[in-house]
Structure 1
Amino acid sequence: MTTRATDETSSGIRLGLRANLAQFSLLVAVNALVGGMLGQERTVLPLLADDVFHLSAYTSALTYILAFGATKAVTNFFAGTWSDRFGRKPVLIAGWLIALPIPAMLAWGPTWGWIIAANILLGINQGLTWSTTVIMKIDLVGPERRGLAMGFNEAAGYVAVAATAMATGAIADHAGLRPEPFLLGAAYVVLALGLSTLAVRETRDHARFEAARHVTPVGSEHDGELTTGQITRLTSLSDKALSAASQAGMVNNLNDALAWGIFPLLFAAHGLSIAEIGILAALYPAVWGAGQMLTGWWSDHIGRKHLITAGMLLQAAAIALVAAGTTFGVWATAQVLLGVGTALVYPTLLAVIGDVAHPAWRARAVGVYRLWRDGGFAVGALLAGVLADAFSLTTAIWAIAALTAASGLVVAVRMYETHPRL
C-alpha cells in the first residue's frame, strides 16, 4: 500500500469525486436552491419596478441590482475568510438563516425601499451560500477534477435560475406580479436550511488534508504562509492568471447585470408579453447552466485560458446581437449564444483560482475573486442605468458588448495556462 493510501485510510479522509459522491451531490442540490433564490427575481422584478413602483429612470429601477451586487461582492470576501476560520458549514447555515424574510419582503413590501432591503439580504445570502458550496466542492474533489466540479456546481445554480425565471414568468402572466411568484422562493429557503443543517457535512479537513500533501514549486511565492492582504494583492493584481480571471469575472457579471435588468425592459418596450420575456430570461441561464457540465470537464482536458478567451468574445457578439435585434427569434438566438459564451467562462475561471491558489489559502482566494466577480453586478447596474438614461437602452447594450470583448483580449494577452497537466 502506498503512503498516500495509508494516510487516507488513517485519517478517514479521501479526496476525489467518486469517494465523496454523496456529499458532492447534496451540495449540488443545495446550490440549485441558491440559484433558485436568484431566479425568482430575473423575470418579475424589472417589470415590478416599472408597473408597480413606477420608476421611470433606468438608474433608479436598477438600484436593486446595485444593492445586491455590492453586498454580495463584499460578503464573498468575508465568506472565504470565515470558512477558513469557523468552518464551511456554519457559514452555509448562516446564509440560509439570513434568507428567511426575503420572499415575504419581495411579495408584500409596500415601497421600493423594501425591495432594495430584500436584495441586500439576498446579496448576503448568495455570498455566503454560493461561495461556501464552491469552496466545499473544491475541498472534496481534490486537484484532478476541479473543472468538472465547478461545472456541476455552476450548472446546478444557473439551471435553477433559468427554471425559476421561467416558472415565475408563467405564474406572473396568470396571477400577477405579486405575491404568487415569490412563494417559490419561500419553499426554497425552508428546504435548503433543512438540508444544510441536517445533512451537509463539514469539509474544511479535506482542504487541510490536501494542504499537507501539496507540493509548491521551488521559488514560488504561492506557498501556504500568506496573509489575507498578500492573497488579495496576488488575486487582484500581481499574479497574471489570478488577476486576469478576476477582471474577466467582473466583466462577466457586469454583462449579466445588463441581461437581468435591461434586457427585460428592452423586450417589453418592443411589445413582448410577460410569458415571452420569461422564456428569454430563462434561455440564457439555462444554456449557461447546462453547458457548464461539459465546459468544466473540457477545461480539465484542454486547459483554461483558451476557453475563457473564446467565451468572453462570444458573449460580446451575443450582446451585440441583442442590441441589433428587434424580434423574439433574434433575441432567442442571442440568449442561446450568450449562454454558451458564459458556460465556457464561468466554471473555468473558478478552476483557474483552484489551480493557482495553495489549499491553505484557497478559500480566501475564492473570496477575493468572487469579490471582484460579483462587484460586476453593481458596476453593470450603475453603468447600464446611466448610459440608458443618458442615451438609450441600445446604447447601453452596445457599450457593454465592447467592454466584454476588451476583457476577452486582456485574458488572451495576460493569462498563462494554469491546468496542472498543461
Structure 2
Amino acid sequence: MSRRTRRVELGLRQNAAQFALLVAVNALVGGMLGQERTVLPLLAEREFGLTAYSAVLTYILAFGLAKAVTNYLAGAWSDRYGRKPVLVAGWFIAVPVPLLLIWSPSWGWIVAANVLLGISQGLTWSTTVIMKIDLVGPARRGLAMGFNEAAGYLAVALTALATGYLAATFGLRPEPFFVGIAYAALGLGVSTLAVRETRGHARLEAQTHRADNRHDHLREDLTQRQVFLQTSFREPALSSASQAGLVNNLNDGLAWGLFPVLFAGAGLGIGRVGVLAALYPAVWGLGQLVTGGLSDRWGRKPFITGGMLLQAGALGLIAAADTFLVWAAAAALLGAGTAMVYPTLLAAIGDVAHPAWRARAVGIYRLWRDGGFAVGALLSGVLADLYGIRTAVWVVAALTAASGLLTAVRMYETHQRPARWTSRPAEPCASTSAPPPASAPGGRSACATRRV
C-alpha cells in the first residue's frame, strides 16, 4: 500500500500543529542554553578559582565560535539534506553537555562542553528558524520569528531562574544541570518522532516567488560564495542585518558572562543575581510575541533601529547603576530593545533572500550574529581586566548605539505591506511536484498568497 501524499500548503493556520510543535522544540533548545546563564560565571570563580575576566569568558568565546560556524553549515546542510536530519543531529550532540557540566574536573572540560553546546545550538536553533519560515510563507514571517525567538528566550529566562534557585538551595553542582538532562532527552525524542520535514514548503514558495524590483540582482541561482557576499557585505538590507545581529549578540555575550559577576560583586546573593539574569531574557522573550507580529504591519526597519538604540541606553544605565531596583529596570529595558531587534532581523533576511537559498542566507546571518558572542567575550573580557567591568559595559553601549545609527542610514524597509496578498480562499496544493495553480492578483500563486 502506497503512502498517502501529504498536502503541502503555506500559512500559519494551515500548518498550526507542526508550527506549535517546533515552538515547543525551540523552547527546549533555549532551555539548554539557560541552564548556564546563572551558574557558570559563579562556578568559574568559586569552584575553579578563575579571577581574570578574560579567562572566565573563555567558555562564551568557545560557544560563540562553535555556534557561529555551525550556523553557516546548518543553512547549507538544510538545503542539501533536509531540515529534520540537521535538527535531530543537533539534539544528539546536546545529550552529553549537562553531564560534562556536572562532572568536569577542570575548566577546560567546561570549555569543551560549551563547544558541543555551540554546535548543538547552531544546528537546532538555526533549523527551527528555517522550518518556521518555510511553513508560514511571506505574510506572517515576523509573527513566526516572534514566536520562535520568544519560546527560546523565555525558556532561557525560566531555566536561568530555576537553576539559580537550585544553586542557592543545593549548591552549584550537580542539581542545576539535571534540568538540562531532561531537556536533551525530550528534545531528541520529539524531534525524531514527531517533527516533519519542511523543505517541500520552501520549494512550493520558490515556484511562485516574484522578487521585488529592488532585488532583481538576487536571482534564484546564486552560488554559495555569492550568497555569502550579498548577505555579509553587498546587499544593503542583508548586510545591515548581519552587522546589527553581530553587535546585538556582542552585548548579550557581555550580559551573559559579566553581569552576574558585576551584580555579585555589589553584594547581591545568588537568588537576586538569578532574578536579574532571568529578567533580561524574560522581557526579551515575551516582547517578541508582540514585536514580531507588529513588524508585519509597521515594517522591519523602525524596530531594528529603535531596538539597537534602546539597548545602548539600557547598557549605559547598567554601567552607571549600583542598586538592585535600577539594575532590574535596566535589564527590562535591555530585554525590550532586544525583543524589538531579534525576530525582526530574521524576518528581514526572509523578506529579501530568495526561497531557493534562504536557508543559506539565514545560516550566514546567524554566522555573523552568533559570532558576536565570541567578539563580545573577547572584547569585554580584555576591557574588564584592564579597566573594570563598568568600562567594558560603557564601550559595548557605544558600539551598540553606533550599530543602530548605521542601520538607520544604510538599511531600507524590506517588508511589503500584506494588502497586496489576496484574501480569497486558496486552491489546494497537493504536493510540490504539482504545477502551481492559477495566479492570484499580483502574479502570486493562490497557494502562496492565502491570508493566514
Q: TM-score, normalised by structure 1?
A: 0.97
- Give, in angstroms, the shift of residue 205 of structure 1: 0.5
The within-5 A match list for 1:192-211 is 192-211=187-206
Q: Does 1:340 align with 2:332?
A: no
The CA deviation string for residues 72-108 of structure 1, in whole angstroms up to 9 with x for no partner, is: 0000000000000000000000000001110010011
Identity of aligned residues (%): 70
Q: Which residue of 1 is the match for residue 403 of structure 2?
A: 407
Q: Which residue of 1 is the match for residue 241 of structure 2?
A: 245
- Give, in angstroms, the shift of residue 420 of structure 1: 2.0
State the alpha-carbon separation in 1 of the partners of residues 302 and 392 from structure 2. 28
Q: Which residue of 1 is the match for residue 279 of structure 2?
A: 283
Structure 2, unaligned runs of 5 or more: 419-452
Q: Which residue of 2 is the match for residue 84 of structure 1?
A: 79
State the alpha-carbon separation in 1 of the partners of residues 299 and 414 from structure 2. 7
The CA deviation string for residues 117-174 of structure 1, in whole angstroms up to 9 with x for no partner, is: 0000000000000000000000000000000000000000000000000000000001
Q: Which residue of 1 is the match for residue 183 of structure 2?
A: 188
Q: Does 1:32 align with 2:27?
A: yes
Q: Does 1:70 align with 2:65?
A: yes
State the alpha-carbon separation in 1 of the partners of residues 415 and 269 from structure 2. 45
1:58 to 43, 50, 53: 53
Secondary structure of the residue aligned to 2:10 is coil
Secondary structure of the residue aligned to 2:370 is helix
State the alpha-carbon separation in 2 of the partners of residues 356 and 370 from structure 1. 15
State the alpha-carbon separation in 1 of the partners of residues 166 and 315 from structure 2. 28
The within-5 A match list for 1:11-410 is 12-217=7-212, 220-410=216-406
Secondary structure of the residue aligned to 2:286 is helix
State the alpha-carbon separation in 2 of the partners of residues 103 and 340 from structure 1. 30
- Give, in angstroms, the shift of residue 12 of structure 1: 1.7
One-letter code aligned to 1:159: L
Secondary structure of the residue aligned to 1:315 is helix
State the alpha-carbon separation in 2 of the partners of residues 265 and 368 from structure 1. 32
Name which one, 1 or 2, has greater alpha-carbon Rg: 2
- Give, in angstroms, the shift of residue 223 of structure 1: 1.4
State the alpha-carbon separation in 2 of the partners of residues 216 and 320 from structure 1. 41
State the alpha-carbon separation in 1 of the partners of residues 342 and 391 from structure 2. 26
- Give, in angstroms, the shift of residue 312 of structure 1: 0.2
One-letter code aligned to 1:403: L
State the alpha-carbon separation in 2 of the partners of residues 223 and 29 from structure 1. 34
One-letter code aligned to 1:275: G
Structure 1, unaligned runs of 5 or more: 1-9
The CA deviation string for residues 341-367 of structure 1, in whole angstroms up to 9 with x for no partner, is: 000000000000000000000000000
Secondary structure of the residue aligned to 2:129 is helix
Q: TM-score, normalised by structure 2?
A: 0.91
State the alpha-carbon separation in 1 of the partners of residues 361 and 369 from structure 2. 12
State the alpha-carbon separation in 1 of the partners of residues 280 and 56 from structure 2. 22
Secondary structure of the residue aligned to 1:358 is coil
Which aligned runs of 4 or more in structure 1 are off by greater than 3 angstroms?
none
One-letter code aligned to 2:330: A
Q: Which has the higher helix share?
A: 1
Secondary structure of the residue aligned to 2:13 is coil
Q: Which residue of 1 is the match for residue 436 of structure 2?
A: none
The CA deviation string for residues 289-308 of structure 1, in whole angstroms up to 9 with x for no partner, is: 00001000000000000111
One-letter code aligned to 2:127: T
Alpha carbons of structure 1 residues 122 and 309: separation in structure 2 relative to 1, 3 Å: same
Q: Which residue of 1 is the match for residue 449 of structure 2?
A: none
The CA deviation string for residues 280-324 of structure 1, in whole angstroms up to 9 with x for no partner, is: 000000000000010000000000001110000000000000000
Instruction: Give the alignment's Cα RMSD to 1 decimal.
Output: 1.1
State the alpha-carbon separation in 1 of the partners of residues 282 and 394 from structure 2. 23
State the alpha-carbon separation in 2 of the partners of residues 349 and 204 from structure 1. 22
One-letter code aligned to 1:105: L
Q: Which residue of 2 is the match for residue 7 of structure 1?
A: none
- Give, in angstroms, the shift of residue 11 of structure 1: 7.6
State the alpha-carbon separation in 2 of the partners of residues 200 and 389 from structure 1. 46
- Give, in angstroms, the shift of residue 421 of structure 1: 2.1
Secondary structure of the residue aligned to 1:272 is coil
Q: How many residues align?
A: 414
One-letter code aligned to 1:297: G
State the alpha-carbon separation in 1 of the partners of residues 64 and 406 from structure 2. 23
One-letter code aligned to 1:68: F
- Give, in angstroms, the shift of residue 216 of structure 1: 2.5
State the alpha-carbon separation in 2 of the partners of residues 307 and 209 from structure 1. 30
State the alpha-carbon separation in 2 of the partners of residues 284 and 392 from structure 1. 22
State the alpha-carbon separation in 2 of the partners of residues 165 and 297 from structure 1. 26
State the alpha-carbon separation in 2 of the partners of residues 12 and 310 from structure 1. 41
Alpha carbons of structure 1 residues 217 and 155: separation in structure 2 relative to 1, 3 Å: closer
One-letter code aligned to 1:322: I
Alpha carbons of structure 1 residues 138 and 403: separation in structure 2 relative to 1, 3 Å: same
